[in-house]
Amino acid sequence: MPEDFFSGLDGTVQYAGPGSPDPLSYKVYNKDRMVGGTRMEDHLRIAVCYWHSFNWPGSDVFGVGTFDRPWLEPNHDPMAAAHAKMDAAFEFVSKLDVPFFCFHDVDISPEGATFAESAVNLDTMADYAEKKMADTGVRLLWGTANLFSHPRYAAGAATNPDPEVFAYAAAQVKHALEATKRLGGSNYVLWGGREGYETLLNTDLKREAEQLARFLTLVAEHKRNIGFEGTLLLEPKPQEPTKHQYDYDAQSVHGFLQRYDLVDEYKVNLEVNHATLGGHSFHHEVAYAVDNGILGSVDANRGDYQNGWDTDQFPNSVEELSLAVHEILRGGGLGRGGFNFDTKLRRQSMNRMDLFHGHIGGIDTLARSLLVAADMIEQGTLTSARDDRYAGWSGGLGAGILNGTESLDSLEAQVAAGRIDPDPVSGQQELLENQVNQVIWNTEG
């Protein structure tokens, strides 16, 4: 198995400016560039996801893997293959020169014949990851447990009708959370892969919600018991693989957390493609999370507007991402979160270097969106227009309504006396669209 898997690049991907002809350079992402007083690298906290980049062979439901990933060949010893895969992953992240990676337990370590064997494998691979992280300086943005691939989880993990499956999932999360803590993870993610239903004919919604809440409560308790300082994150997605997933979108997750008194324990990891599958813009999901204090981190990919599934493509629209990054900056940034590239190559992108091209383009798109968003904040493009639009609520009548001074009686009296007779006001959508575009066109690369 390969020593130097990405030999097509000596050294690392570096910033070379917007005019550079070198496809293996960043055109915008310049990690040390200061943006609003913070280094670009520290704003974006970019992570490479292990699973799509190193675990997925390029298969789809109609065909086998197309990628050249020697460690995935079935005739290899699973632990030797896991080590080779980790060598390739750390070589890639270091050459890309981004600070973080993310993993599911089963991405980095093969499942054994028993839980005990899987646990030993994970500990062994966490040892190796610790060494690789020390050698390269790459850090862990988040860890997670895969509670959706194994047949035991076909009917869900925490929401399974069988409490033994709940127990198995609990054991797996405990172990993955502890490995994440040990590797200094900034966050721990729970994406409810099969926490949902295929048909209501056999599903007890009330029980499943209570089971899920119990599971999340136990995880939060364990986090405190072991002193893990990272943030727990739920990742909303409306459907796929199940027909309906409970963590549908940011607002349903928020409501669930409030209902079960978990709102101080969890934030959300928002994924662009999941927002669009839910019938929202990503901008909407981020704005909701920021305004309700639950934004934790981001899975940066994009969907395909002609498809109804998670295509997980690398982001390439500055127009779309700038608006979401604008909301993130307005909320004070991502804190311990970051932008994880939960992105896949296309099945035909089978050249090894395609993995670089995908990430470089996505990272540059994000970097450019950050510059645009920072300019919009500085110029007050949207914030001052919003402030003006709601100015009436800051004092006088608006403040009186909000603080309880006014009642239906008092309001009716003022309206009936003709003292209140509002004129409709323009929402100025087209003007604002033009102003946003103007910032996009004029922001210095």
Least distance in angstroms from the C-beta of 247 to Ni ion: 11
Q: Is the bond leading into 241 cis (omega within 30 degrees of zero)? A: yes
Which of 411, 331, 405, 320 is closest to 366 using CA atoms?
320
Q: What DSSP string runs through 164-187?
A: HHHHHHHHHHHHHHHHHHHTT-SE
Least distance in angstroms from the C-beta of 11 to ligand XLS: 30
Q: Which is nearer to Ni ion, 5 or 54 (CB)?
A: 54
Q: Which of residues 88-117 bind ligand XLS (CB under 6 A)?
A: 104
Active site residue 104: yes
Least distance in angstroms from the C-beta of 320 to ligand XLS: 18
Q: Which is nearer to Ni ion, 195 or 342 (CB)?
A: 342
- Which partner in Ni ion, ligand XLS, none is near 341 (CB below 5 to 8 A by kind)? none
Which of 296, 226, 309 is closest to 257 using CA atoms?
296
Site string for ligand XLS, 324-343 (x = CB under 6 A): ------------------x-
- Which partner in Ni ion, ligand XLS, none is near 320 (CB below 5 to 8 A by kind)? none
Q: Which of residues 218-237 bind ligand XLS (CB under 6 A)?
A: 235, 237
Q: Which is nearer to ligand XLS, 198 or 210 (CB)?
A: 198
Q: Which is nearer to ligand XLS, 27 or 85 (CB)?
A: 85
Which of 53, 93, 94 is closest to 72 using CA atoms?
53
Could you say which of 107, 178, 195, 310 contacts ligand XLS (CB under 6 A)?
Answer: 310
216 in Cβ contact with 265 (< 8 Å): yes
Q: What DSSP string runs through 301-339?
A: -B--TT-SS---BPP--HHHHHHHHHHHHHTT--TT--E
Which of 38, 147, 141 is closest to 93 using CA atoms?
141
- Catalytic-labelled residue, pool 87, 97, 107, 364: 107
- Which partner in ligand XLS, Ni ion, none is near 144 (CB below 5 to 8 A by kind)? ligand XLS
51 in Cβ contact with 189 (< 8 Å): no
What is each CA distance from 341 to 47, 366, 445, in whole angstroms?
6, 11, 22
Question: Does 53 help bind ligand XLS (rule: CB under 6 A)?
Answer: no
Least distance in angstroms from the C-beta of 195 to Ni ion: 14
State both tokens at 248. Answer: 């549908």
What is each CA distance from 72 to 284, 332, 422, in whole angstroms?
39, 41, 67
Helix/strand number for the chain, H first, E second: 16, 12
What residues line the site for Ni ion (CB under 5 A)? 271, 299, 310, 342
Q: What share of the chain is helix, strand, coil (3-state, %, to 5)?
A: 50, 10, 40
Could you say which of 15, 56, 128, 191 contacts ligand XLS (CB under 6 A)?
Answer: 191
Which of 57, 153, 52 is closest to 103 using CA atoms?
52
Give the binding-site size for ligand XLS (rule: CB under 6 A).
10
Least distance in angstroms from the C-beta of 159 to Ni ion: 19
Q: Which of residues 129-148 bind ligand XLS (CB under 6 A)?
A: 144
Could you say which of 271, 327, 364, 375 contacts ligand XLS (CB under 6 A)?
Answer: 271
Radius of gyration of the chain (CA): 24
Q: Which is nearer to Ni ion, 97 or 310 (CB)?
A: 310
Q: Which is nearer to ligand XLS, 69 or 237 (CB)?
A: 237
| Planar angle of CA 56, 42, 143, nearest 5 degrees | 35
Residue type, 219: V
Dihedral of alpha carbons 95, 97, 103, 108, sign: positive
Active site residue 364: no
Least distance in angstroms from the C-beta of 13 to ligand XLS: 24
- Catalytic-labelled residue, pool 52, 83, 104, 326: 104
CB-closest chain residue to ligand XLS: 191
Least distance in angstroms from the C-beta of 147 to ligand XLS: 9
Could you say which of 299, 320, 327, 375 contacts ligand XLS (CB under 6 A)?
Answer: 299
* Catalytically annotated residues: 104, 107
Residues that bind ligand XLS (CB under 6 A): 104, 144, 189, 191, 235, 237, 271, 299, 310, 342
